[in-house]
Amino acid sequence: MRGTEVISPPVRCLDSVVNLGFPVPPTMPRRKAYPIHPLMLDWLTWLEVVLQVSPTTLTGYRSDTRILVAFLAERCSVHDPRAITLEMLTAYFEDLSERLSGRARLRKLCSLRSLFRWLHASGHVPRNIALLLGRPRQRRRLPRFLTLAEVQQLLATPRGAGLDDVRMRALLHVLYATGMRAAELVSIRLADLDLQHGLVRIVGKGGHERICRMHHTARQAVREWITARAQRYADLQWEQRDKGWLFCNWRDGGRLHYSTLQRAMNTAGRLAGIERPVTAHMIRHSFATHLLERGADIRSVQELLGHRSLSTTAIYTHVSDARLGEIYRAAHPLG
């Protein structure tokens, strides 16, 4: 699948982040759009069609490819990936290190290794030179989470009977009851719900399915939203547009967009009096942290979060250790 594609630089949508007074994270400087080499387009197509990577992963790899192509064209006058040398890649990562964290550079290293692994397997290059690049050092940071009091305050904030409040209440309760990711939340279909038993089937990273559980309060919030949702579709005669998504938007009744979800989280946090910006992922971190602090074993939390590796879940034990330190200092006679 050969051809030439020009991927224009993305336009960053600030949404309501500025309006709410939260700091805007730094962005990559704009680069001129350069044509993507056909081999790179073939690799991206292979990822999508053969490996069937998630849309989020594919979008990230496309973005990484655009940045790499711009650097090679501007600094090295190279457009063909077969002409890339280890020195060029080293200079590329040195350039990235000036403005990106170790975690962001690691993602770009993964996409680069995937590209060269495909080029090598396809016989276009004699070896995968990306394997010679060292992994960037990462400072392991504790996940940001809310205290139990903050979560309770957050869940109690949407009290009204309007559509915005009913939807926000359901979003917040489902997030904290299940600990699911934002992408998993907006992908729930009505057919995935078993409200009688408090179960919801979701498809996580890599297409892996799992069953999440919802307590009584979350189930009630979802029932109220489903009733309001059905009335909204009926009033605006959207029945023919109904694709079965649990959470819909106000524009055309389609699936709720991630940016809309984040605006709802920002609004809920502000109304609840929480000074830090609240995100769906912060609620996921809170879910895991609170379970571990109350005696849940880490293997069970791993299953509930949908982590493929136990080491990914292990970061929450550091949070619990920090909490244990506070308890020790407060309770020990000589603490």
Q: Which of 77, 82, 79 is nearest to 129 (CA)?
A: 82
Take residue 269 and report the two structure tokens written for it. 């946090």
Residue tagged active-site, from 181, 219, 229, 255: 181
Amino acid at 96: L
- Work out the pLDDT band at 141, boundaries 50, 70, 90: low
Q: What is the pLDDT of residues 68-116, one digit of tens each?
A: 999 999 999 999 999 999 999 989 888 887 777 767 788 888 899 999 9
To 10 degrees, the CA torsion angle through 90, 95, 100, 103? 0
Q: Is 21 helix (H, G, I), strand (E, B) or coil?
A: coil
pLDDT digits (tens, 9 = 90+) for 205-243: 777 889 999 999 999 999 999 999 999 998 888 878 888
- Mean pLDDT of the chain, nearest integer: 83
Q: How far apart are CA 241 and CA 237, in angstroms?
A: 9
- Say if residues 138 and 95 touch (Cβ distance below 8 Å): no
Q: How far is CA 333 from the centre of its chain?
A: 44
CA-based nearest residue to 49, from 127, 124, 118, 128: 118
Residue 153 has pLDDT above 50, yes or no: yes
Q: Where are the beta strands (DSSP E) in the chain?
A: 5-6, 35-36, 193-194, 199-203, 209-213
Q: How far apart are CA 100 and CA 122, in angstroms?
A: 31
Name the active-site residue from 167, 255, 284, 285: 284
181 labelled catalytic: yes
Query: For the chain, what percent of residues have pLDDT higher than 70?
Result: 84
- The pLDDT, as a whole number, for residue 197 is 93
Say which of 205, 213, 263, 323 is annotated catalytic: 205
Note the pLDDT tens digit of each residue in 262-271. 999 999 999 9
Q: What is the pLDDT of residue 16?
A: 35
Ranges 17-26, 72-81, 130-139, 268-277: which has the least confidence:
17-26
Q: 284 an active-site residue? A: yes
Average pLDDT over residues 271-283: 92
Annotated active-site residue in 113, 124, 281, 323? 281
pLDDT band at 4 (very low <50, low <70, confident <90, very high): very low
Neighbours of 83 (CB within 10 A): 13
Query: Nearest to residue 220, comparing CAs of 183, 187, 172, 184?
Result: 172
pLDDT at 100: 74
Question: What does the pLDDT average to over 276-293?
Answer: 91
pTM > 0.75: no
Cβ of 209: how many Cβ atoms within 10 Å? 10
pLDDT at 130: 86
pLDDT in tens, 28-75: 455 567 888 999 999 999 999 998 887 878 888 999 999 999 999 999
* Best CA proximity match to 293, nearest among 151, 183, 185: 151
Angle at 61 between CA 59 and CA 66, to 5 degrees: 95
Residue pair 253/238 in contact (Cβ under 8 Å)? The answer is yes
What is the Cα–Cα distance from 239 to 332, expressed in whole angstroms?
Answer: 62
Which structural domains are found in the chain, ordered by start? 28-132 (1.10.150.130), 148-330 (1.10.443.10)
Distances (CA, A) of 7 to 32, 59, 100, 227, 293: 10, 11, 21, 42, 46
The residue from 113, 307, 318, 323 that is catalytic is 307
CB-CB contact of 26 with 54 (8 Å): no
Q: Is 281 an annotated catalytic residue?
A: yes
Q: What is the pLDDT of residue 8?
A: 39
The angle at the Cα of 231, spanning 230 to 232, to the nearest 5 degrees, equals: 90
